[in-house]
Amino acid sequence: MTNQRSILVSGCSSGLGLALVERLAHQNVRVYAGLRNLGDATRLPANVRPLQLDVTRTEQIQSALQTIESECGHLDVLINNAGINAVGPWETVPPEIVRNVFDVNFFGAVELTRAFLPMMRRGQRGQIVMVSSLSGLVGLPADGVYAASKFALEAFAESLSYEVRRWNIKVSIFNPGGYATNLMRKAWRPANADGPYEGLIQGALTRTEGGSGDSRKAAADIVTALDTPQGPLRYPLDDTARMVFDVLKLEPQSDRETLIRNASGLAWWIDGQATDPHGV
């Protein structure tokens, strides 16, 4: 057992997940890196603890929970970063690919979060981070499968944030723009681009080869935000994201929170009161 702050990051073999654990390794924290393949542990800093963690496998989630519980007794921050992508119009993406994207991007984050929530509730503290995307805010052509999984992740995170606030558990969503990472290089894409969507597929694949964002800069911004307990629900991580936030009028968050409090009639729960003071 240790009183040292503990952080678990999923999807750490490359990209933003690897950049996050590299950044966190320089802090006085106990860092756990979730990897689908433990062979990728050679890429991690020496003081980062690798865990085999395919977020679609319940037994690996439970094993990670048991390891952290036995070694630390608590988890301060859970960063749901694992993700995969698929590029193509809805008509052409096979149903098994759609399900696989949702299994990793949405259901994986849900089940990993649900596993660690009891520990955080018992400790009356914690932070749950969802690494989303601008695709979680805007559905682009040939990006619909990935976008739908991230839209679902955003809804999960938003509702969860109001459910667990009373236990001093903060939920944060980070929305990066495009990065030239393995997420795009390994994305599913049609084996044959011929047919009625040929132009769309070619254009979408050309777009996904880009991505000028800096994953190390994004990781630094996320780590900085972890130390801001009163921060907003959603964070834009680059200039493109800030532009999208402005167009969609996602700030101030207080306007959206007022809507949620009024529409749900559950402000008393959100505020941590024991019962509805109005007796409804």
Q: Kindly list the catalytic residues.
A: 146
**Single-letter code of the amino acid located at 168:** N
Sign (positive or negative) of CA dihedral 13, 18, 21, 26: positive
CA distance 139 to 121: 34
Of 148, 153, 112, nearest in space to 130 by CA: 153
Main-chain phi, psi angles of 52, to 5 degrees: -75, 115
CA distance 254 to 97: 37
Cβ atoms < 10 Å from Cβ of 138: 14
CA distances in angstroms from 131 to 39, 78, 91, 261, listed in the order given: 24, 11, 27, 25
**Chain centroid, CA 79 distance in Å:** 6
